[in-house]
Structure 1
């Protein structure tokens, strides 16, 4: 059957995936047909990316079955770049099916015998071209590259592009490909507002199946027809919510969590009461086996044993009826950050005047003549602008991570700065590095989270950027469990590593927090908690974000718009 000639669907039946000693997915069910758009949510490490790999056929489940009907296109969070690969190579790969369909139709038409020709083959070739809109393929990919702000030069080497540029090129190619089943992993991470609007419009009219892992709450509102939550529920299995808005989903989930926790508390209370009764019965039995001389010890001992057996039966019955509750997701415990350094003498904590940062070919990466940005104690600043406008460069200038070609930066004595930069692999031109006094913590290539956090603390201490009395323990933040912190960082998911980087930004109890796209790769629950924490913290905060819901939540902050 040719793609497009039959029904399109994607089904997962009781799919389970795990690694030695750790289950990742357990009994996941999903059924989606043409026109269905399913948002996949859950805490970092819940298996969202793993589920996409299973649905795509890149990873075989330990148990269960996945069925697919139609062509599949996948956009992963991370792209492995082959040596010498170019933008044109990705474009050619994405449009291969459309071009092959057009060539097949041309061959059928050219060789068609009007007396004895195979009309079925010709009709199938025409249907294939119409299904893929093959005549429009080149225009579609060029439009998508432009609307996503991706490089359009087909000769550009991929390894010379930033992480965000590479992602936008690949996303544009997959959108133009028009696959029957589209699987996207955090597609809004590297898009600005106009790019997200274009993506939203494309997904709303997508004729096939769409499954998206996302933390973008507005995207859930605007696009999804259902939400699959991979976090554990009362019965330990993921839940498919029919809610078509984020607010409706959160309400339904919060109600379920309240019922779950209330029942769990009641069960635990009963268990404690019966355990105390059992202990008292055993204690009584021990006393009765050593009665005073002349007492009816056998009679009293028999009664004691009867009480113990009755208590044993009650405890056993309770355990049989008890709710087996999986470990709940860790909750953010944002630290009480200081607002002022010791011996503060007044004035701004951090100030930048008329910054200019040199770029390639004589073009500045950032140029803000006549602009003065100063952060007072407890100050706030929201930085917005399209991709390429210099938001990340501006935050790097604030952090002191890059030299200024013009302008000046000043930091008050004793001020500690915590930086959460955008993610990036070594060698990426878009990668940001921590500046003096910064507490950014790109995950190291080896060692556990605890070890990397300790190395980071020692490094800051040697540079005089850490007060040992105000160090923030990583395990106390609720960003990662102790089990995850004991694992090698390389084994953690992208979202878990992002949580670790956030923990490193808080390590030194900074007076100033600089956060570049802080919602990237984080779960939607954590994004809600982080937004509330940033609004209430005593530290000064600068946030650069494209996240529409976060921008709305921080709309009362002073705003600097670049570009």
Structure 2
């Protein structure tokens, strides 16, 4: 297997995405691809797969290619069985071809090389074992196994796991994965990790999962611009080596940028001083030494021009370094509150799934334990209390009810039993795992109170600025916003002003996720409820966000399957829903 990409460039109408990307993948290569949201990671996978054509550069492929996108587009009536049969069709065709070739083979005149090639290919793909591999992969990834189940009745995460299982069983020469751990719990990630390490061909994986990069990647391609504007290939294996090397590069970049900014400031001051010398303040009085006045003026102008030429020749244009997360200083509580009282509390909560939640269930996004009566969370005798500046880490496998518990804390799902208490005036900021902004406005649940992607009527698509302003007005009307403590969206370092001026529907999944985080911070909440906060975010932002959550005075509740984040928050109180 061999894939070589040279100097790739690609742009969507009016928006360049990739420029100067070169890489090489061969058997045994496991290339991790990282970068900020909107940097072109998913686009690169489609270029490598041949679904898109580069505007510049070329790609050479040898061998079969399989792409697993973040979302599986289904056809009406398509079932799990259809997907499995489509996956196995090529392997069964190969087995049938070998059988026919062997039956018709003439030992005196037959093409032994062709038969040997077919047998070697079958051996490489383990074609005789394909059915068992599919069944094992579906089981280990906790995917739906019912062959008659329609794909359009499954959540995004469930569909992803079915497609991933099929692709792993298919054994393509080049496997392209887009955020494969977003919808997997620990046991499924462990299975995937083992499969990738043992993969006989090449692997290119776009991921924000730092632990997966550490376990799997033999090299990391960072699509974020460097000081010279080009993507960087870090050849050392593992995330920690990449993180160290990139931090060093960013430090040098920021130092160089500050030096050039200082050089520009000095240039401006010296020019001001030089041309100021041409004013009447330094000139000899009129009527005295007239010839010297003109001569000195010309000399001074020439000296200033030479200075400009010298400083400009020495100057190096350094692009602005990437913005850092500017996490706001959130309050722990309002004046006059009793620090001994919890800001929000649940007692003996029991939540029963509603039809919308069942349809939208995705790796715990509104999902929970699915027993016969549809119970999502049932914690008799349990008290979940979040005090000012409190911390809570919620863990458990897919379907354990992590997202449902956070929704109950937020007051977004009704309790079939138990009580919820919130201190008067407490402001809650919520980042749900999946929202209308992430999944599309057609899946919006009225109870979630999510800002629509498009206005009603003829106003057209909303930009980030418009949606943020609408959210602020709505919070103000409900009395949940202190006008003195509004957090400006452009000041957070999450999205550029250019991105905030674009319609939300045009943003990438990661950019929309950043916007959801900004919305949660808008009203300076006392409590942050974050459901899988690392999903769709770049590894750089995840590192910055983790540090901010540890340091913020606000109370924080995090539900996550991210193994590195769980390790970073290991000293927090833990509520394990797997029991």
Alignment partner of 1:402: what SS?
coil
Contact between 1:421 and 1:432, CA under 8 Å: does it hold in 2?
Answer: no
Correspondence 1:502 to 2:517: yes
Match of 1:262 in 2: 255
Contact between 1:448 and 1:487, CA under 8 Å: does it hold in 2?
Answer: yes
1:127 equivalent among 112, 117, 120: 120
- Could you say if the C-alpha distance between residues 96 and 444 of structure 1 is closer, same or farther in structure 2, counting changes exceeding 3 Å? farther
- Could you say if the C-alpha distance between residues 367 and 273 of structure 1 is closer, same or farther in structure 2, counting changes exceeding 3 Å? same
Q: How does 1:257-336 map to 2 (within 5 A)?
A: 257-287=250-280, 292-336=285-329
Partner Cα distance (2:571, 2:452) in 1: 31
Match of 2:365 in 1: none
Q: How does 1:90-489 map to 2 (within 5 A)?
A: 90-287=83-280, 292-341=285-334, 343-345=336-338, 346-359=340-353, 361-424=372-435, 425=439, 446-489=461-504
Contact between 1:182 and 1:210, CA under 8 Å: does it hold in 2?
Answer: yes
- Could you say if the C-alpha distance between residues 73 and 338 of structure 1 is closer, same or farther in structure 2, counting changes exceeding 3 Å? same
- Could you say if the C-alpha distance between residues 362 and 237 of structure 1 is closer, same or farther in structure 2, counting changes exceeding 3 Å? same
Contact between 2:533 and 2:560, CA under 8 Å: does it hold in 1?
Answer: yes
Where do 5+ consecutive residues of structure 1 fail to align?
Answer: 1-7
- Could you say if the C-alpha distance between residues 444 and 316 of structure 1 is closer, same or farther in structure 2, counting changes exceeding 3 Å? farther
Contact between 2:181 and 2:209, CA under 8 Å: does it hold in 1?
Answer: yes
1:87 equivalent among 58, 80, 87: 80
- Could you say if the C-alpha distance between residues 464 and 288 of structure 1 is closer, same or farther in structure 2, counting changes exceeding 3 Å? closer
Contact between 2:254 and 2:321, CA under 8 Å: does it hold in 1?
Answer: no
Alignment partner of 2:302: what SS?
helix
Partner Cα distance (1:271, 1:459) in 2: 45
Aligned residues: 552
Q: Report Cα offsets for 1:495-553 as digits up to 9, x if no partner.
A: 11100011111112111111110000101111111111111111111100010110001
Partner Cα distance (1:432, 1:527) in 2: 28
Alignment partner of 1:95: what SS?
helix
Partner Cα distance (2:492, 2:240) in 1: 26
Contact between 2:33 and 2:222, CA under 8 Å: does it hold in 1?
Answer: yes
Partner Cα distance (1:301, 1:11) in 2: 66
Match of 1:524 in 2: 539
- Could you say if the C-alpha distance between residues 230 and 304 of structure 1 is closer, same or farther in structure 2, counting changes exceeding 3 Å? farther
Q: Report Cα offsets for 1:4-44 as digits up to 9, x if no partner.
A: xxxx1121111112234432211111112111111111111
Match of 2:367 in 1: none
Match of 2:9 in 1: 16
Alignment partner of 1:184: what SS?
strand
Where do 5+ consecutive residues of structure 2 fail to align?
Answer: 354-369, 456-460
Q: How does 1:63-82 map to 2 (within 5 A)?
A: 63-82=56-75
Q: Report Cα offsets for 1:68-117 as digits up to 9, x if no partner.
A: 11111111122222221221222222222212111211221222233433
Q: TM-score, normalised by structure 1?
A: 0.93
Q: Give the drift of 1:153.
A: 0.8
Contact between 1:43 and 1:329, CA under 8 Å: does it hold in 2?
Answer: no
Alignment partner of 1:450: what SS?
helix
- Could you say if the C-alpha distance between residues 514 and 302 of structure 1 is closer, same or farther in structure 2, counting changes exceeding 3 Å? same
Q: Report Cα offsets for 1:367-413 as digits up to 9, x if no partner.
A: 22221111111111101111111111111111111112222212111
Alignment partner of 1:218: what SS?
helix
Contact between 1:15 and 1:27, CA under 8 Å: does it hold in 2?
Answer: yes
Q: TM-score, normalised by structure 2?
A: 0.90
Q: Report Cα offsets for 1:429-465 as digits up to 9, x if no partner.
A: 8x87766xx8x65755821100011111122222222
Match of 2:556 in 1: 541
Q: Report Cα offsets for 1:305-352 as digits up to 9, x if no partner.
A: 334334334433443443332232221111111111455345211111
Partner Cα distance (1:227, 1:260) in 2: 20
2:573 equivalent among 543, 558, 563: 558
Name whichever of 341-350 and 269-278 sits farther off: 341-350
Q: Report Cα offsets for 1:274-323 as digits up to 9, x if no partner.
A: 22222222232354998633333444434433343343344334434433
Alignment partner of 2:545: what SS?
helix
Partner Cα distance (1:320, 1:217) in 2: 43
Name whichever of 443-452 and 537-546 sits farther off: 443-452
Correspondence 1:511 to 2:526: yes
Match of 1:4 in 2: none
Alignment partner of 2:553: what SS?
coil
Partner Cα distance (1:203, 1:317) in 2: 55
Contact between 1:182 and 1:209, CA under 8 Å: does it hold in 2?
Answer: yes
